[in-house]
Amino acid sequence: MNATPIRLLIHGANGRMGQALQRLCDEASGCNVVAAVSRKVGPRVIDGIPQFAASEHPGAPEFDVAIDFSLPEGFDAILGLCVARGKPLVSGTTGLSDAQVAALDAASAHIPLAWASNFSLGVAVLHDLVERAARVLPGWDCDIVEAHHTRKLDAPSGTALTLGAAAEAGGAQPRYASLRAGDIVGEHLVQFANAGERLELVHRATSRDIFARGALHVAQRLAARGPGRYRVADLL
């Protein structure tokens, strides 16, 4: 952990995650938001934080780590800024194109990078448990059941697919089921079943703040790492 607070640039500051990051960073002692970047800006300073439009990236002040929760169309600019300044990037922006994923991989040769569909620390642990279970339970049925609020349109969720990739890495062939109901923040059940027994690994999110807290946790640790692409589990 850094002895002094790290300076953060928040990209996608007007979104739900961007607002949570600013609020939680204000409550924490290990970070300080020095710039908030959004597609459009009104007041130039809000709660002491300088505001920048996405087109004004080059004018952003010095920062130690950028955290990006935006849209694919804004991703190239923030990645380019981090590479140009040699600064780490934490990103949870989903829907990236193949070209953007390739650019992410190429940039990792020059700066520390952490991209994830889910920054929950619990899910990071679950990911490794799923791969381990799949590896030591060959031939068992593997099913992943995810549940989210009714406003979530994609199914299976990105997290379910990531857990499925972990199961596949261990040799399993996962099947998926999705539920959309009420205001469920996020639940993921990974079940391994065989004759006479069943193993269930479950993660339940009850607050969206866990994703912002996880991203801040990753940012604080990524600041001290060398170039490369890191998983959340690598930074626990």
- pLDDT (tens digit per residue) in 152-175: 888 999 899 999 999 999 999 999
Out of 3.90.1200.10, 3.40.50.720, 3.40.50.300, 2.40.50.100, the CATH code matching 6-115+209-235 is: 3.40.50.720
- Residues 121-205: name the CATH superfamily: Dihydrodipicolinate Reductase; domain 2 (3.30.360.10)
What digits encode the pLDDT tens for the residues 14-73?
888 899 999 898 666 688 899 988 887 766 777 777 788 888 878 889 999 999 999 899
Question: Which residues are annotated as catalytic?
Answer: 148, 152
Contact 89, 70 (CB under 8 A): no
Per-domain boundaries in the chain: 6-115+209-235, 121-205
pLDDT tens, residue by residue, 184-193: 999 999 999 9
Q: Model confidence over 188-230: pLDDT tens digits?
A: 999 999 999 999 999 999 998 999 999 999 999 999 999 999 9
pLDDT at 2: 52
**Dihedral angle sign, alpha carbons of residues 113, 162, 68, 70:** positive
Adjacent-strand bridge partners of 202: 189
